[in-house]
Structure 1
Amino acid sequence: MNITMSKAGGAQPRPGMARASANGTQAPPSAAPTPQPPADRRSPAAERRSARAAKRARHAAVYQASALAATFGIVALAVGATALRITRHLDAGDPLPLGELAGTLVLMAGSAVAMEMYARWAHRVLWHDAAWGWALHASHHAPREGAFEANDLFALANALPAMGLCLYGFLRPDALGGALFGAGLGVTLFGISYMFVHDGLVHRRFPVGPIADVPVLRRIAAAHKLHHSDKYGGVPFGMFLGPQELEAVGAGLDLEALLAAQSAKRGAKDADPLADP
């Protein structure tokens, strides 16, 4: 008989053989457990999504580091150069040239506003209509494949006249020098603001923190989204006055609808942070 003896002398069935029930019938042997796949195994599609997300995060980190380093460096240089330009020609006890300082600040504000008008014209005529400009700018209207794009060369090109104005104005110790220095600072201020709103807030090339919650900036960002839709022939081509451009071509309702949709999406995401973006 297929039994073994226990230490107590009783008969014990061998492992795997059927056991007798109380009424003498044989119970079927227990089935072996079914192997289960590892709980943390992901599908190929999920792995690809994770890889793309990690790649985007690396690109954003590289661009953010570059943007912040350039911003802090330029701001520190501008503040230091402004203070040095005002004080280096003063003798001990001389009053500050407040009139020259005021002129510098006025030209700085004026050139920043003028840059919006120039950017609107250059964006349409040079970057979209001109073949050579579109050869670079097309990279901005296509999916980005790295931390940078060919369109970034325009930012470097716009920095050259700002540097020239600042340098010449710094070296010239008179009111004209102060005005030119202020104009260069205004171009620089516009460029930094454009980078944070356009690259950070609109295209999410790097996180912008609380800037994303400022209503007027969210409106500007939504207007630029309509530029990329090509629904109104590319309008708006400007940045900070983009909403006004849309209203001028009768697209104000579309802008409001886009803002409402974005607000609803943000509300749903706040209600369920784990939901897909």
Structure 2
Amino acid sequence: RAAAARRVAEKETRKRSERRTYLVAAVMSSLGVTSMAVAAVYYRFSWQMEGGEVPVIETLGTFALSVGAAVGMEFWARWAHRALWHASLWHMHESHHRPREGPFELNDVFAIVNAAPAISLLAYGFFHRGIVPGLCFGAGLGITLFGMAYMFVHDGLVHRRFPVGPIADVPYFRRVAASHKIHHMDKFGGVPYGLFLGPKELEEVGGLDELVSSPVSEATDTEDAGEEKTRPVVCVVRTSVFMGQSVPNEF
């Protein structure tokens, strides 16, 4: 019994250390990307208005592409998740569907891959003037915003790789988290493959009732996949994350 308790304590200590390591990496990358994006937006629009005339068309184009790219990334991620990650790139994505060993997984490479075009578009739009550079700048900004939101909801809220505070209390994000759990349970052939529109995908395949009334795993961390326990519930399970602790609640 003492040996078993010691193993449990060692595992909890290791998990806390891994989450702390990932949290440091996430915070550093988030602060770096956010600060650069904010500075780029500020200086770019400052340069645009140096002559006293606001380039309305270019500004509207930048804003429109920011919103469009952020929304479009959800559909790109859905397609790539189904057609690439669960197909030819499964050898990399499989690490996300298996118990995690260490603070990182091979699947994290996809975040770096998606960051490359965003940085390229932002850089081109920052160092050039005109409508086309403005559109490129907006697209890069939209991709960046989507990536940040994806990290907090997917990595933080769903898989508990770091605490997300009040984000865990947003009702729609709780539905998104529950939908993504169903993807990992593979009840509808992997659907939903998207994240933020996951509940809509489930509705399209007739799985909305499953989101509301099916047994939902209490564990959301892939590392705990081998120790999951399910229980019937009459509503979706909420995972509240506070100071690194995950507290399942019903709502």
TM-score range, shorter chain: 0.7 to 0.9
The answer for unaligned runs of 5 or more in structure 1 is 1-41, 268-272
CA distance in 2: counterparts of 1:160 and 1:140, whole angstroms: 21
Which amino acid counterpart does residue 86 of structure 2 have in structure 1?
A: H
Q: Does 1:156 align with 2:118?
A: no
Give 3-state SS (helix, strand or coil) of 1:70's partner.
Answer: helix
Q: What do the CA deviations read for 1:195-248 (whole angstroms, capped 9, x no partner)?
A: 110000000011111111110000000000000001111000000000010111
Aligned twin of 1:167: 123
Give 3-state SS (helix, strand or coil) of 1:246's partner.
Answer: helix
Per-residue deviation, 1:263: 6.2
Q: Which region of structure 1 is more displaced relative to structure 2, 138-147 or 79-88?
A: 79-88
Per-residue deviation, 1:103: 1.8
CA distance in 1: counterparts of 2:50 and 2:187, whole angstroms: 61
Q: Does 1:110 align with 2:55?
A: no
Which amino acid counterpart does residue 2 of structure 2 have in structure 1?
A: S
Q: Does 1:224 align with 2:183?
A: no
Q: Write out the 4+ residue segments of structure 1 that deviate beyond 4 Å after TM superposition.
A: 262-267
- Percent same amino acid among aligned pairs? 49
Gap change, CA 1:262 and 1:186, over 3 Å in 2: farther
Q: Does 1:73 align with 2:29?
A: no
Equivalences for residues 176-195 of structure 1 within 5 A: 176-195=132-151
Aligned twin of 1:84: 43
Which amino acid counterpart does residue 38 of structure 2 have in structure 1?
A: V
Q: Conserved in 1, the CA contact under 8 Å of 2:211 and 2:236? A: no
The correspondence for 2:82, drawn from 124, 129, 134, is 124
Per-residue deviation, 1:101: 2.1
Give 3-state SS (helix, strand or coil) of 2:233's partner.
Answer: helix
| TM-score w.r.t. length of structure 1 | 0.77
Which amino acid counterpart does residue 99 of structure 1 have in structure 2?
A: I
Which amino acid counterpart does residue 85 of structure 1 have in structure 2?
A: R
Structure holding more helix per residue: 2
Which amino acid counterpart does residue 46 of structure 2 have in structure 1?
A: T
Aligned twin of 2:23: 64
Per-residue deviation, 1:90: 4.2
Per-residue deviation, 1:96: 3.2
Per-residue deviation, 1:265: 6.5
Q: Conserved in 2, the CA contact under 8 Å of 1:86 and 1:97? A: no
Q: What do the CA deviations read for 1:38-81 (whole angstroms, capped 9, x no partner)?
A: xxxx7111111111111110111111111111111111111111
Aligned twin of 1:241: 197
Give 3-state SS (helix, strand or coil) of 1:194's partner.
Answer: helix
Which amino acid counterpart does residue 104 of structure 1 have in structure 2?
A: T
Per-residue deviation, 1:88: 2.3
Give 3-state SS (helix, strand or coil) of 1:195's partner.
Answer: helix
Which amino acid counterpart does residue 142 of structure 1 have in structure 2?
A: R
CA distance in 2: counterparts of 1:80 and 1:96, whole angstroms: 19
